[in-house]
Each structure stands twice: as C-alpha cells, then as structure tokens.
Chain A
C-alpha cells in the first residue's frame, strides 16, 4: 500500500525561536508605530485646532470692571465739561504676602501720616488676599510709596469723578461715592436711568460712553452763582437761590442754591442747610403768586384787564382784616392792583372767579404735585386740599401755601409763552420736541395780558429797580416778600424774598426766579423788601447774561407799547 501524503495531516513546520520572536517584534513595532502615528496625529490635530481658534480676549479684564468702570462725561449746552473721569492710583495690600507687618506700617505712615497706626496694623495682619489701604491718591504719593519697596503693597488705577466747575453747578450735578455710583443730583438720575445697566453689561469701559449733554449754560450758571454769592454778603442773607428756564423748551439754563457744596468732596454736601432750595425747598411764595391769581381770573373770564376793584378798606374775615402793605386805599384798576401789589385787590380778583375755580386752577398748574424733573431731590408742595374763604384769600397773594421755586418758574414760563405748561428738564430738548409736550393751561390772550402786567410792573411798579439795572433788555417781573413764621406768628423782621422775572418781554425767552432768604438792608437808604435784594440780583443777572444769550438791548418804547392790550390803548 502506497503511502500517500493525503494520509497524513498537515505538514508540521517548526519555526526557529529567533524567527518566531522576530515576527512578534515586528508585530509589536507595527503596533507601536501605529500608536506613535496616532499620538503625533492627535497632537498635530490639536495644534491645528488651537491654531484655528481665535482667542476671545474680551474676557480679559472683566474683573477690573467694577473699579475702572467709567461714567460718561457731562457737558453743558456749549460742550464745556461739567464732570469728567480721571484715573487715579489706589493703594491696596495683600496681607498674606506681607513679611514684616510692623515694618510695613512704619514705612507706610512716613508717606501717609493720616492713617491710623492701630487700624493699619490690623488691616495688614492676617491671611487675606486683598484689602484697600487708601483709595484715590495722587501720582506723587504713588511714586513715594513705590519707592518704599514694601512687598505685598501695590497700586491699582481707579476712575474718579472730577467736577472742574467746583462748587458752581453742585446742586445740578450732585455727586458720586467712592465706588463711582451717583448719590445725588443728575449723577444719581443718570444711574437710575442707564449707566448702571451699562456697567452691568460690561459696556461702560474705556471712553466708549457717549457724553451726556445738559441744558445748562455754564456761563449763565457762573454769573448766577457769582451774583448769589454776592447777594449773601451784600444783604447778609442766610441763603440765596436762583433758577433760569427757557420758556419755550423748558430747558433749565442755570440753577444754583447757596449755601452749596463741592462735589469733588462729597462730604461737604452734609454741611447744614446746603440742600437744593430750588427743587427740595418749599416756601410761601408771597406776592410773586399774585401773577398766578391774575392769570387764573383773567383766563376764567370772570375779570378783564379793564376792571376796577375796591381797595379802599381791608378785607374782613371774622376778627381778621387783611390789608395792603403800602395801601393806596382807593379804587384800583386791575393793572394797578398788580403794580401796587395790592392784597385787597388780589383777593377781590380771586373772589370774582370763586375759590373753587381758583383751587382747580392751582391743580391745573401742577401746584399740588412734584414738578416732573430729573433731580431726585424733591419735596411735595403743601397746598390745602379744600380752601375756605380765608385760606383762598391768603392763597391769592401767596400765603398759607408752600411751593418750590421750580414750581414758580414753570408757572411763569407757562404764563408768558402763550399759555403752555412745559415740564422743566436738565437735558437738551429742541422746540419741536417741547411743543409736542405742551399742555395748554391758559389762553394765548391771557398770556399776552400777563406779559403786559409783568412789563408794566417793571416800568412803573415794584420791579423798577430791576428794570434800572437791566435797561434795554425789556425784562418784566414781580416782587414777592413773604414774612417768615417765627414761633407760630408771622415776623416782620425775617423775610423770604422772591423775584420772578421774564425777559425779553416782547418775545419771552427766559423766565427766572431768584430767592434771597432773610436779607438785611444793604445800607441806610435801602429796604428789606424783595425789590431791594432779589429784584436787584435779578437785574444784575439779566444785565450780564442777556448778551451771552443773544439778546441785544433795545430802548425803543414802541416795543413796550406793543405789549399794551388793545382795550387799554
């Protein structure tokens, strides 16, 4: 039997140990190469990926936002800076990095001797990573501290608000605290509006913020401030305040109240009596309120400018008699009532329209609520809800009710601009914008009558002293002397004096209220009533600012004659 290969199983081939190992090594190397290629591939891919990504650098510096966040600069209507941000160094310490606390305290106090030693020691001791030592220093002090070479002490640049006008517009601007948040004035209003939101979004960095333009004219503001300071010394008054408004647009051109403070040192705002008397002070307006009564009665049609009123005897209410300050004691025409500032005549004029109608008119003029205005410092006026015959009578000449000077200037503006109430504003507003906001409160014909009365009062009445100073600028005005309540009774020795004025009367553009609190006579020849102080201050201000505001003097008498209503010509 033949032996065939088929009968055997597969051929046994034995590989040598070397070959077997060689095969194994080769397989391993192949795997290794694969792993290496994969590894390099991974690294390469990651590199390519990193190269493709654009790094987001905006995240950087976000942490610094809180302290270097800026506020928009505030400009006046001519583009002059009223508030700017400056960068100042602030000193901080990292207590955990300080090696010798005693040495650090001793050295620091050589440069900053104001720092309390014990306070500084506790501040620098401990394991904290960051503490403020002193904020908002000058660059010189920064240099000197750097030269001390204390480890763990460093500077960071912060934004600080700076007001180049110093005290001049303090009540308008208000102030900011050390963390750059508005705490008063327009600064606070801005925060409530939008800056806080911007800072939250991280947008309020760098100089990207658009400046805020105010309606204030710093030139006029300076003159008003200067004249009020002058009034304080000239009349030895305890306070003085003034506000000027554009009667067509409601823009506040100037607003000052003394005593004031320096917004660069917010602590000075806490000085007694330095509140804003224009917005948050409410006073008995005195006779400047007669203009309101005149406008109310003339507009109601109950009286006309031709009417006469019996002012021979005082008006009796039970045991009280209301009399005139310097009474004529005769029958007076309506313009004469205004000219001689007759209390009796004004009561009769108010009575002609009726006390309820009069009260309703006060509401229409916004006298029983806050004036819509940007400044947060505001106080509610105090006006009786229901008026008795007596309270309506006293209210007609500005007693027994309290309103802010801002109320008065807004009312005066409405009376002369054709009879449209326009809320005052500290921001820019053009005429078209303002006209959309107009609320008619009196008829244009009544407005013309009031213009005539105010100008007449300047030519012949109680405002002649003002007119003497502002001759040619066709100013009109009304004095108001309100006796102060001392120990529950009106005192004839202490007055709050007001002067409401408008210029130029032939084409009214600006209304102004000036207040002088408790003035004394300037000299032996002068008096203490409003014409002698508030009136003169108004005259001086108009004389200085009218040319700046583009009003040329005109002595033509025909301009005044044109103001006279046709029925009186």
Chain B
C-alpha cells in the first residue's frame, strides 16, 4: 500500500513540478509580451502626443495667418470690410406675382380656337 502511495506521490510530484515550470515559463512569456506592449504603447503615445502638438501648431491662427498673407495676391483675398456685410433688409423684394388673370384668358381663348399669336402673325404678313 505504501509502495503504491509512494509511486503516486512521486508521479504527482513530477507532474506538479513540470506543471509549475510550464506555468512559470508561460507567465514569463506573457510578462515579456506585456512589457513589449507597454513599451510599444508608450512610444506610440509619445508619437501621438507629438502629432497632436503638430496639429495644434498647424491650427493656430498665428500659423495660418502668415500663409494667407503670402497668398493674398494670388488668391485675391483680404480681410473683410464693413461694407461687404449684407443685411436681410438689403435684399431686393420678391418679384411681382405673375398676372394669372391674363394667363387664364389666354388659355381660354386658345381652347376656344382663337390664337392671339396667329392674329399678330397674320397682321405682320407671316404665314
């Protein structure tokens, strides 16, 4: 009985030992992967911060203004003048409504077989 127990214990020991080692190596592996990832994220965050800073510089009015000034002539642009601003009151009035009564009589006469244009043409001597 004791012999059997010993054998079981020895096998269990060997198994557990190899299990623990496997676990240790896999953990070390994961840890180094993690470290590499952290380093990668760190460097990418660094790059990102630089890119964001670049973007902020490019967006500054103080950066854009000189570019505009440089191309003022070529693009024919200038700061807006007060006179260039419009107002709703300055818009022209809506054109007068079409004379619908006259149109109605025209269509009625056309339906009745009288073409006023024809009459004009005849008057002019054009057939």
Contact of A552 among B2, B62, B83, B87 (CB under 8 A): B87
Contact of B62 among A85, A168, A553 (CB under 8 A): A168
Contact of A84 among B9, B45, B56, B82 (CB under 8 A): B56
A165 to B56 alpha-carbon distance, docked (Å): 8
Interface residues of A in 158-215 (CB under 8 A from B): 162, 164-166, 168
Q: B42 on the interface (CB 8 Å rule)?
A: yes
A88 to B43 alpha-carbon distance, docked (Å): 10
Decide: A84 near B52, CB < 8 A? Known: A33-B2, A36-B9, A157-B42: yes
Report A80-102 CB contacts with B as 1/0, cut-off 8 Å. 11001111100000000000000
Give the chain A neighbours of B45 by CB distance below 8 A.
87
Interface residues of A in 209-262 (CB under 8 A from B): 218-219, 221-223, 225-226
Task: Name 23 A/B residue pairs within 8 A (Cβ), A-sorted.
Answer: A80-B59, A80-B60, A81-B52, A86-B49, A87-B45, A87-B46, A87-B49, A87-B50, A88-B46, A157-B42, A164-B57, A166-B60, A218-B60, A221-B61, A222-B60, A222-B62, A222-B65, A223-B61, A472-B82, A547-B80, A552-B87, A553-B85, A554-B87
Among B12, B50, B53, B57, the one with the most A-chain Cβ atoms within 10 Å of its Cβ is B53
Contact of B56 among A40, A81, A221, A472 (CB under 8 A): A81
Residues of A within 8 A of B (CB): 26, 29, 33, 36, 40, 80-81, 84-88, 157, 162, 164-166, 168, 218-219, 221-223, 225-226, 471-473, 543-544, 547, 552-555
With both chains docked as a complex, state the minimum distance between the C-beta of B49 and any C-beta of chain A, in angstroms.
Answer: 5
Contact of B85 among A40, A88, A552 (CB under 8 A): A552
A497 to B85 alpha-carbon distance, docked (Å): 32
With both chains docked as a complex, state the minimum distance between the C-beta of B53 and any C-beta of chain A, in angstroms.
Answer: 5
Question: What are the 4 tightest A-B residue pairs by CB atom distance, in nearest-first order?
Answer: A87-B46, A81-B56, A164-B56, A222-B61
A164 to B52 alpha-carbon distance, docked (Å): 10
With both chains docked as a complex, state the minimum distance between the C-beta of B85 and any C-beta of chain A, in angstroms.
Answer: 5
Decide: A86 near B59, CB < 8 A? Known: A33-B2, A547-B80, A547-B85: no
A553 and B82 within 8 A (CB): yes
Interface residues of B in 34-72 (CB under 8 A from A): 42, 45-46, 49-50, 52-53, 56-57, 59-62, 65
A218 and B61 within 8 A (CB): yes
Q: Which partner residue on chain B sits nearest A159 by CB separation?
A: B49
Give the chain A neighbours of B60 by CB distance below 8 A.
80, 164-166, 168, 218, 222
B56 and A80 within 8 A (CB): yes
With both chains docked as a complex, state the minimum distance between the C-beta of A206 and any C-beta of chain B, in angstroms.
Answer: 8
Q: B5 on the interface (CB 8 Å rule)?
A: yes
With both chains docked as a complex, state the minimum distance between the C-beta of A229 and any C-beta of chain B, in angstroms.
Answer: 11
B53 and A164 within 8 A (CB): yes
A543 and B82 within 8 A (CB): yes
Q: Which partner residue on chain A sits nearest B46 by CB separation?
A: A87
Decide: A544 near B2, CB < 8 A? Known: A84-B53, A225-B62: no
Contact of B50 among A80, A86, A553 (CB under 8 A): A86
Report B66-95 CB contacts with A as 1/0, cut-off 8 Å. 000000000000011011010100000000
Among B9, B50, B60, the one with the most A-chain Cβ atoms within 10 Å of its Cβ is B60
Report B4-48 CB contacts with A as 1/0, cut-off 8 Å. 010001001000000000000000000000000000001001100
Give the chain A neighbours of B57 by CB distance below 8 A.
164
Give the chain A neighbours of B5 by CB distance below 8 A.
33
Among B12, B79, B85, the one with the most A-chain Cβ atoms within 10 Å of its Cβ is B85
Residue pairs across A and B with CB atoms within 8 Å: the count is: 72
A552 to B80 alpha-carbon distance, docked (Å): 11
A223 to B12 alpha-carbon distance, docked (Å): 81
Besides A86-B46, A86-B49, A165-B62, 17 new A-B residue pairs in contact (Cβ under 8 A), listed by A number: A29-B2, A81-B56, A84-B52, A87-B42, A87-B45, A87-B50, A157-B46, A164-B60, A165-B60, A166-B62, A168-B60, A222-B60, A222-B61, A472-B82, A473-B82, A552-B87, A554-B87
Q: Which partner residue on chain B sits nearest A79 by CB separation?
A: B59
With both chains docked as a complex, state the minimum distance between the C-beta of A295 and any C-beta of chain B, in angstroms.
Answer: 30
A165 to B65 alpha-carbon distance, docked (Å): 12
A223 to B60 alpha-carbon distance, docked (Å): 12
Q: Which partner residue on chain B sits nearest A473 by CB separation?
A: B82
A226 and B80 within 8 A (CB): no
Interface residues of B in 82-126 (CB under 8 A from A): 82-83, 85, 87
With both chains docked as a complex, state the minimum distance between the C-beta of A260 and any C-beta of chain B, in angstroms.
Answer: 12
Give the chain A neighbours of B87 by CB distance below 8 A.
552, 554
B65 and A226 within 8 A (CB): yes
With both chains docked as a complex, state the minimum distance between the C-beta of A117 and any C-beta of chain B, in angstroms.
Answer: 31
B53 and A86 within 8 A (CB): yes
With both chains docked as a complex, state the minimum distance between the C-beta of B27 and any C-beta of chain A, in angstroms.
Answer: 11
A471 and B82 within 8 A (CB): yes
Give the chain A neighbours of B46 by CB distance below 8 A.
86-88, 157
A472 to B61 alpha-carbon distance, docked (Å): 25
Contact of B59 among A40, A81, A85, A223 (CB under 8 A): A81
With both chains docked as a complex, state the minimum distance between the C-beta of A79 and any C-beta of chain B, in angstroms.
Answer: 10
Give the chain A neighbours of B53 by CB distance below 8 A.
81, 84, 86, 162, 164
A473 to B80 alpha-carbon distance, docked (Å): 13
Decide: A544 near B62, CB < 8 A? Known: A33-B2, A86-B53: no
Give the chain B neighbours of A553 by CB distance below 8 A.
82-83, 85
Give the chain B neighbours of A80 by CB distance below 8 A.
56, 59-60
With both chains docked as a complex, state the minimum distance between the C-beta of B47 and any C-beta of chain A, in angstroms.
Answer: 8
A182 to B9 alpha-carbon distance, docked (Å): 66
A219 to B68 alpha-carbon distance, docked (Å): 14
A222 to B67 alpha-carbon distance, docked (Å): 14
Give the chain A neighbours of B42 by CB distance below 8 A.
87, 157
